[in-house]
Amino acid sequence: MDVLQAVNEPVWWRRGIFYQIYPRSFQDSDANGIGDLPGIIGRLRYLKDLGVDALWLSPIFPSPMADFGYDISDYTAIDPVFGTMADFDRLVAQAHASGLKLILDLVPNHTSDQHPWFIESRRSRDSTKRDWYIWRDPAPGGGPPNNWLSEFGGSAWQYDAASGQYYYHAFLAQQPDLNWRNPAVRQAIYDVMRFWLGKGVDGFRVDVIWHLIKDEGFRDNPPNPNFREGQPPHQALLPAYTTDQPEVQHVVAEMRSVLDAFRERVLIGEIYLPIARLVAYYGKDLLGAHLPFNFALLSAPWNARRIEAIIAEYEHALPPGAWPNWVLGNHDRPRVASRVGAEQARVAAMLLLTLRGTPTLYYGDEIGMHQVAIAPEQVRDPFEKNVPGLGVGRDGCRTPMQWSSAANAGFSTAQPWLPLPDDFVRENVLNLEADPASLLNLTKALIALRKRCPALVTGGYEPIAAQGDLLIYRRRSGSSSVVVALNLGADPVSLSSDAIPLSGEILLSTFMDRVAEPISGTLDLRGNEGVITSAVAAG
Ligand code: GLC
């Protein structure tokens, strides 16, 4: 059944385009400078017009906000800053009514230190929930049990004077790791999943899923021989015993089976691993994550050969039947418009929306939002606070959505929790909607073209060339075929038919002109131009 569906009418998460919303920064409705659920409801129309199919919301659950919602103190409620459960139910109903799926962020690796489970666990060594977290005695000579480091700086072990033991936290000390070797913990989180699935959510993006299981013997992590000054300090060690442990696959399969008790839900895994390891998370017989997030483009050098090599490596590594996916930005990484520049951001959009597999857009990338400069006194991100000066801060990619040139960019009537850049008066949804050649209108055109062109959804990926700044590939499904030619450089390039025989016409240029221009013999690309053609490229 699943296979037939893949061939004929792909299931929604294969067919669709995902859009990540960072709720604090999307739309404020109650004038506190922080985005909320009613704000999102008010913007469903915009999302529908954009053409995306599924919304993933970063965490909206009660939280002390030490890590802005990734420290959860109640898994089955809504933080008042975002609204109420009634607002949430309304959001699900209205999203569904307009044909949008809704995906929640599941954060099972750790809770807040204010979660009742941890409060109970910390109460004493005899607590019934002691083993829900990872408690260890000090090392024989005193000090932390081993050398494991927190991703947010310092030791990953926090001493609890009352009980004389340490607890493990892969991130902040306010984010103690749950003990996923304990079946009671697993059941508790599976119940959380059932709670939200029962409310109609269409799936989960699972936070740091490759972290869930740690080495049973608590062995020291080995030093990283390639560590260089300027890297975040935790990278001084290789995470050999803290992440990607073999037993985690069993847990992912269990999560999947919880999900599979409901119809057509999606399991997405947040996984920062090399491609060869990443693909293991599709699971045995593809019964793991449907979409282990592919972050390869987030750190890719913007170079035709490198990108082609990444695509090739990924395509070859995918297990048979596994569905690919691509990501250009998220709430943890610098904005794509700043990584590749404003001109190339248009080419990047064409790349993302023409590759094989489910694309995930990050809010604001469709209007070219760039990394916003954050003054020292405006820093909110705990990562930057703990490890200052290395440029790890994530506030700059989490700034308010720029809706209009009104006060606070139409995001809020109050001062936003993070600053807006000066250029929001130009770079905003309202202005860009009115400009036919804007990145926003290009993104809409790319999405619309993807929807009416089966080759772009279900078609195979065939590399054609990666020469100089030029990246060319074909997507083909039966008789439907398109060629995508991207100029990743600022100089014009001319492609002669001797090198790559082409004929047909241009369907879309990143400059939004040249529609239906015939191609015969040569294809000329301006600097920073990408085109999708109906061309038949021999070869
Ligand atoms: C994930 C989230 C990130 C968070 C971390 C700890 O990587 O994407 O924002 O800080 O997990 O929960």
> DSSP assignment of 43-109, as one string?
THHHHHHHT--EEEEPP-S----TTTTSS-S-TTS--TTT--HHHHHHHHHHHHHTT-EEEEEE--S
According to the model, what pLDDT value does residue 521 have? Answer: 79
Pocket of ligand 1 (CB under 6 A): 67, 70, 107, 171, 207-208, 270, 331-332
Atom 3 in ligand 1: residue holding the nearest Cα: 332
According to the model, what pLDDT value does residue 478 have? Answer: 87
Atom 12 in ligand 1: residue holding the nearest Cα: 70
According to the model, what pLDDT value does residue 2 have? Answer: 45
Atom of ligand 1 nearest to the CA of 70: 12
- Of 106, 151, 171, 298, the one to substitute when testing ligand 1's pocket (max ligand atoms within 8 A of C-beta) is 171
Kindly list the catalytic residues. Answer: 207, 270
Q: Would you kindly state where each structural domain of the chain is located, as residue ranges?
A: 3-111+183-447, 116-168, 460-533
CA 70 – ligand 1 centroid, Å: 6
- Of 57, 67, 107, the one to substitute when testing ligand 1's pocket (max ligand atoms within 8 A of C-beta) is 67
Helices 248-260/183-198 angle, 10° precision: 30
- Low-confidence residues in the chain, pLDDT < 70: 1-8, 497, 499, 501, 535-539
- Name the residue among 12, 86, 85, 87 with its Cα closest to residue 55: 12
**What is the full DSSP assignment across 99-153?**
T-EEEEEE--SB--TTSHHHHHHHH-TT-TTGGGB-EEPPPTTSS-SS--B-TTS
**Which 3 state secondary structure label does DSSP give 476?**
strand
Q: What fold is seen in the domain 116-168?
A: Oligo-1,6-glucosidase; domain 2 (3.90.400)
Neighbouring CB atoms inside 10 A of 242's CB total 25
**Which 3 state secondary structure label does DSSP give 346?**
helix
Helices 342-352/439-452 angle, 10° precision: 10
CA 151 – ligand 1 centroid, Å: 10
Phi and psi for 240 in degrees, rounded to 5? -60, -35
**Which 3 state secondary structure label does DSSP give 259?**
helix
With residues binned 3-state (H G I as helix, E B as strand, rest as coil), the percentages for the chain, rounded to 5, are 35, 20, 50
**Which 3 state secondary structure label does DSSP give 235?**
helix
pLDDT averaged over the chain?
A: 96
Neighbouring CB atoms inside 10 A of 247's CB total 13
Q: Is 44 exposed, middle or buried (0-12, 13-18, 19+ CB in 10 A)?
A: middle
- Of 207, 293, 298, the one to substitute when testing ligand 1's pocket (max ligand atoms within 8 A of C-beta) is 207
Buried b (16+ CB within 10 A) or exposed e, 486-498: bbbbeeebebeee
CA 53 – ligand 1 centroid, Å: 24
CA 67 – ligand 1 centroid, Å: 8
Q: Are 88 and 37 in contact (CB under 8 A)?
A: yes
Interior angle at CA 374, CA 415 and CA 36, nearest 5? 40
Q: Taking the CA atoms of the chain, what radius of gyration do you get in angstroms?
A: 24
Neighbouring CB atoms inside 10 A of 452's CB total 9
How long is the chain?
A: 539
Q: What is the pLDDT of residues 393-432, one digit of tens each?
A: 999 999 999 999 999 999 999 999 999 999 999 999 999 9
According to the model, what pLDDT value does residue 496 have? Answer: 79
Q: Which CATH superfamily is domain 3-111+183-447 in?
A: Glycosidases (3.20.20.80)
Q: How many CA atoms does the CB half-sphere of 163 hold within 13 Å?
A: 19
According to the model, what pLDDT value does residue 8 have? Answer: 59
CA 208 – ligand 1 centroid, Å: 7
Atom of ligand 1 nearest to the CA of 152: 10
Structure tokens at 39: 């704000």
Atom 5 in ligand 1: residue holding the nearest Cα: 70
Element (H, E) at 460: strand 460-467
How far are the Cα atoms of 120, 122, 125, 185, 338 from residue 134, in angstroms, in the given order?
13, 11, 12, 12, 39
Phi and psi for 430 in degrees, rounded to 5? -60, -45
According to the model, what pLDDT value does residue 4 have? Answer: 44
Neighbouring CB atoms inside 10 A of 97's CB total 9
Q: 460-533: what CATH class?
A: mainly beta
